[in-house]
Structure 1
Amino acid sequence: MGFSVTTWNINSLRLRMPIVEQFVLKHKPDILCLQETKVPNDLFPASPLRAMGYEHIIVHGQKGYHGVAIASRFPLVEDHRQDYCNVGDARHISAVFERGSRRIRLHNFYVPAGGDEPDRTINPKFGHKLDFVEEMKQLNADSEANTSAILVGDLNIAPLEHDVWSHKQLLKIVSHTPVETEGLLEVMQRGAWLDLMRQHVPENEKLYTWWSYRAKDWEAAGRGRRLDHIWSSKDLGPHLQRIEILKEARGWERPSDHVPVTAHFNL
């Protein structure tokens, strides 16, 4: 029995619903996880998603900032929203779904970007990011009995050398500083998470999901980073068929600076 999960930082859902529809109508993921929806719960545009077959939607949003949502063709139960760092930001949501005899907990994260200066003494946003990652270290893929786990989202960290266009030049740039990359790798190690995007792509190959708006020609510049991630509990690793990074979406009309990333499983 197969299923697919897409993660996408959409950078304002209401603004970019046309490209969400463009993506869904062609690629038809079973579950769509969105970040940076930037819409409060009462104004969330559920109707167009339901019209495309996503009858089961859970949201955690706020006006103008952050926001995460899960839209699914399968029933979602036991949904949970955790307030990381206790500041009231809408940055996490999770729910359980079932495929065949398997129960799966799906986490959707939007980790703080961290501002521009990688020094928490002068940049509170960077300190917030580090505290958020520290709290994530308590999240274990095997924490629920008889339940597999998938973690997706914009984690705003490119942890490996070839997750960025230039490891050397980005070591002092937020998203690839050693304190961030080591922290995220510890989240993965402590929580027994499997990096599915690197399961079929060796660590010495470049892998990007984000290209800055600042580049006049993002494709020619080639300065990407892997900020979006799909992890799972180790029992799901053998069931991963493939990962698709839809790079072409970065060139669509009024695009997000992130592109959809989809994991296909066969249980």
Structure 2
Amino acid sequence: MPLKIATWNINSVRLRMPLVQRFLEEHQPDVLCLQETKCPDDQFPSAAFRKLGYRHIQLNGQKGYHGVATVSRLPLELVEKRSFCNMEDCRHISTSVNVAGRNVVIHNFYVPAGGDEPDPEINPKFRHKLDFLREMHLVVPSQAADSSTILVGDLNIAPLETDVWSHKALLNIVSHTPVEIEGLKSVQARGGWVDLMRQHIPPSEKLFTWWSYRARDWDASDKGRRLDHIWSSPDLAPALERVEVLRDARGWDRPSDHVPVIAQFG
């Protein structure tokens, strides 16, 4: 099943459109899922994407915050824009593409970051994150015989000890706390999702997709976290050929603090 899909928290698509263009020209994924687009749908730079060959666009955006977008060189159908926690945040969109006669459903997520204090009793943002994870249990792979499912996005949780620069230092830091990890693993187990990044890159290896803007030299200090993920239904896992984390993109001009992740199926 030939398919190349990428996910990237772009941290403002209009501001970083030159970086998106560079990425698309150099890596040419079939489908690109963006998070934190930070613009309403009518201000999304659709014309620029179409000029690059990504004519099929599905959006769930809002002014200044959050927002997800899925763009594709393949015909792309909208499946659903799901709301979570009775809020109007634009944090999810699901689409579908047909690949070699198979329907592939793609869920594109931006999970709440959760604020700074990992206590739901005093931090509403952290409570929101935990509630969001509970509702994610409703998102499971398609059961249709001719369908497969992929889930991608900035899930804002680094679940493994090797997904953070220091397990000990970050154990009580939002994104790596036990309650968040338990919540994410529960979502994964409920849907039978396969963590494709860790299928391709052994869990014993350090793996990061995000480096803070606060670091004076992000590359030298290398205090990263794996916050971005690509999962699939079990039937797709054997077709995975490779996963690439484009670390160099963190050093591009005016970069996002996240880098693209690419999964190639064949």
Normalising TM by the smaller chain, what interval? Answer: over 0.9
Deviation by residue 1:218-248 (Cα, 9 ceiling, x = unmatched): 0011100000000000000000000010000
The residue that corresponds to 1:38 in the other structure is: 38
Hey, what's the Cα distance between the residues in 2 that align with 1:52 and 1:104? 23
Letter in 2 for 1:129: K
Secondary structure of 1:86's counterpart equals coil
Shift of 1:256: 0.1
8 A contact 1:250–1:258 mirrored in 2: yes
The residue that corresponds to 2:25 in the other structure is: 25
Q: Percent identity?
A: 63
Hey, what's the Cα distance between the residues in 2 that align with 1:46 and 1:240? 30
Secondary structure of 2:188's counterpart equals helix
The residue that corresponds to 1:6 in the other structure is: 6
The residue that corresponds to 1:119 in the other structure is: 119
The residue that corresponds to 1:200 in the other structure is: 200
Secondary structure of 1:15's counterpart equals coil
Hey, what's the Cα distance between the residues in 1 that align with 2:9 and 2:220? 22
- Match status 1:188 vs 2:170: no
Hey, what's the Cα distance between the residues in 1 that align with 2:146 and 2:78? 15
Hey, what's the Cα distance between the residues in 2 that align with 1:141 and 1:22? 32
The residue that corresponds to 1:110 in the other structure is: 110
Shift of 1:139: 1.6
Secondary structure of 1:254's counterpart equals coil
List gaps (5 residues or longer) in structure 2: none
Hey, what's the Cα distance between the residues in 1 that align with 2:227 and 2:262? 14
1:137-148 alignment runs, 5 A limit: 137-148=137-148
Shift of 1:145: 4.7
Hey, what's the Cα distance between the residues in 2 that align with 1:98 and 1:84? 27
Secondary structure of 1:169's counterpart equals helix
Hey, what's the Cα distance between the residues in 2 that align with 1:58 and 1:139? 19
Hey, what's the Cα distance between the residues in 2 that align with 1:139 and 1:92? 11
8 A contact 1:243–1:264 mirrored in 2: yes
Shift of 1:265: 0.5
The residue that corresponds to 1:245 in the other structure is: 245
1:1-267 alignment runs, 5 A limit: 1-266=1-266
Hey, what's the Cα distance between the residues in 1 that align with 2:38 and 2:15? 10
Root-mean-square deviation (Å): 0.9
Secondary structure of 1:262's counterpart equals strand
8 A contact 1:61–1:90 mirrored in 2: yes
TM-score scaled by structure 2?
0.98
Shift of 1:142: 3.7
TM-score scaled by structure 1?
0.98
8 A contact 1:142–1:192 mirrored in 2: no
Deviation by residue 1:148-190 (Cα, 9 ceiling, x = unmatched): 0000000000011110011111010000000000110110011
Hey, what's the Cα distance between the residues in 2 that align with 1:247 and 1:6? 14
In the TM superposition, structure 1's runs of 4+ consecutive aligned residues that sit over 3 Å from their partners are 142-145
Secondary structure of 1:5's counterpart equals strand
Letter in 1 for 2:170: L
8 A contact 1:41–1:59 mirrored in 2: yes
Number of residue equivalences: 266
Hey, what's the Cα distance between the residues in 2 that align with 1:193 and 1:142? 11
Secondary structure of 1:234's counterpart equals coil
List gaps (5 residues or longer) in structure 1: none
